[in-house]
Amino acid sequence: MLKKLRTSDRALMVLFTVFVLATPLLMAPLGAGYPDLMQRFAIYGIFAIGFNILFGLTGYLSFGHAAFLGVGSYSALWMLKLLSINIVPAILFSVVVSGLFALLIGFISLRRSGIYFSILTLAFAQMSYNLAYSVLTPITNGETGLQLDLEDPRILDNASEGGQLASPSLFGLEMGDTAVVPFLGMDLQFNVGFYVSALVLIGMFYLSLRIFRSPFGMILRAVKSNQTRLNYTGFNSRPYTLTAFVISGMYAGLAGALLVCMDPLAGAERMQWTASGEVVLMTIMGGVGTLIGPVLGAGIIKYFENIFSRINDSVIQDWFSALPDGVADVLVAVVSPFLGSGWHISLGLIFMLVVIFLPGGLVEGAGRIMNLITRLTQARKTASHRSDDRPSDDDVSSEKSSPGSVNTRES
């Protein structure tokens, strides 16, 4: 499977796999090594990768992707209720349903481009949310949300569980099962649900890599750079954009299904515009149109959502307790609105800063830092050459480690 890739992509794929599989080990020191959060990393990573196939490649900014996530969730949960507690049919069914749903919405929305497209998808998502919330209550259970029930028919495996709700499983492996391994004083939690999601994530990452490198991906990029010109060359671009839309809708449905498999509860709020906005945030934050960016963004946003939102006033007071009272009070007053329940403010601010100054997201940021480092080392080399001729420059070249001095030298 890896043979068809370029060397650099092969390395990326291997690195990605290693990192994803080692998440419990890597996240434990950061205080994020518990199953629920790691499952979210993987699942929202899938969601963001799918969104990136549409937005990153074609440039069509969909503001309604949460609708597919919600549809995926509902259909997966219905499969768990009606057919079997095994997650495989649930996932397959929800991918198909969300794909069909995406086909319908994409067919209509893709008749317009640019802002119109964003607004249309936003409207559709909001419509789905309203429908799920009120009209379709028999299917979605409205405000309460859909959940597993003891009276579920479950045609394939309706063994009596002795009055206990079954938990979703993969051929007997329950998603909630966790092996706790003590390691260097930390408890590493290896969770079945996380590894299922992680394997799906790796598979989906590979798929997205293949799409990025395929002729199909090339056409999608052409749509982004200049659709008019593409049309003038005789290409009908709509089938391609529609395919991209459906693929990314299926990714979202898959993510929704996995969410339900980890925690069998589906509510309408999963389809709200805020949820659609979140995946946009993740993708932008990590880096639009890059392979690794969306996963990175999803991880970072979910991490900070969990860590920041748990910080309350007393924790903040603890941080500054060493300072004199007056100063500490001022600092607490300044910092506290941005953390805890108000962490959305910081999220919004960070997002705005990223869009303004770093439109390529963290991946672009990392690229810039790499460039800076290479320039630094080059500058050092040339400087050391010069210092052979002019020994008086020695003091300057010893200061080379600070980036500022290099910049002034270059300019």
Partner 1 sequence: MDAILLQILNGLDKGSAYALIALGLTLIFGTLGVVNFAHGALFMIGAFCTVTFNNLLSFKRVTLSETELSPWGTPLEIQVPYVELWFGDFGATMIDYSVFWSILFAIPVMLLIGIVMERGLIKHFYKRPHADQILVTFGLAIVLQEVIKSVYGANPIPQPAPEAFVGSIDVGALIGMAENSVIYPIWRLVYFLFAAVVIGGIFAFLRYTTFGMVVRAGMADRETVGLLGINIDKRFTAMFGLAAVVTGLAGVMYTPILSPNYHMGMDFLVLCFVVVVVGGMGSLTGAVAAGFLLGILQSFASMPEVKDFLFGFSIDQVIIYLVAVIILLTRPRGLMGRKGVMET
- Using the rule CB under 8 A, which residue among 190, 235, 273, 303 binds partner 1? 273
Instruction: Give the shortest CB-345-to-partner 1 separation in angstroms.
Output: 4
Of 322, 347, 320, the closest CA to residue 331 belongs to: 320
Contacting range for partner 1; rule: CB under 8 A; set: 67-75, 109-117, 212-220, 364-372:
109-117
Contact 293, 299 (CB under 8 A): no
What is the phi-psi region of residue 179: left when phi exceeds 0, alpha when psi lies from -120 to 50, beta otherwise? beta
Single out the segment in contact with partner 1 by CB under 8 A; choices: 28-36, 40-48, 132-140, 376-384.
132-140
For residue 46, give the amino acid letter. I
- Tell the smallest beta-carbon distance from residue 170 to partner 1 (Å): 37
CB of residue 312 to partner 1, shortest distance in Å: 14
Between CA 16 and CA 46 the distance in angstroms is 13
Residue in 28, 48, 204, 284 binding partner 1, rule: CB under 8 A: 284
- Report, in Å, the least distance between residue 171 CB and partner 1: 40
Q: How far apart are CA 210 and CA 47, in angstroms?
A: 17
Check residue 126 for interaction with partner 1 (CB under 8 A): yes
The number of beta carbons lying within 10 Å of the beta carbon of residue 275 is 19
Residue 341 lies near partner 1 (rule: CB under 8 A): yes
CB 42 within 8 A of CB 262: no
242, HSE (Cβ side, Cα atoms, 13 Å): 16
Q: Which of 351, 366, 396, 405 binds partner 1 (CB under 8 A)?
A: 351
Q: Does 127 bind partner 1 (CB under 8 A)?
A: yes
Q: Judged by CB under 8 A, does residue 114 bind partner 1?
A: yes
Q: Measure the CA–CA gap between 130 and 108, rounded to whole angstroms.
A: 19
- Binding of partner 1 by 312 (CB under 8 A): no
Axis crossing angle, helix 215-232 with helix 35-58, rounded to the nearest 10: 30
Instruction: Give the residue, chosen from 26, 96, 123, 188, that forms a contact with partner 1 under the rule CB under 8 A.
Output: 123
H helical segments located in 146-264: 192-213, 215-232, 238-262
Query: What is the binding site for partner 1 (CB under 8 A)?
Result: 55, 59, 61, 63, 108, 111-116, 118-120, 122-124, 126-127, 130-131, 133-135, 273-274, 277, 280, 284, 337, 341-342, 344-345, 347-349, 351-352, 355-356, 359
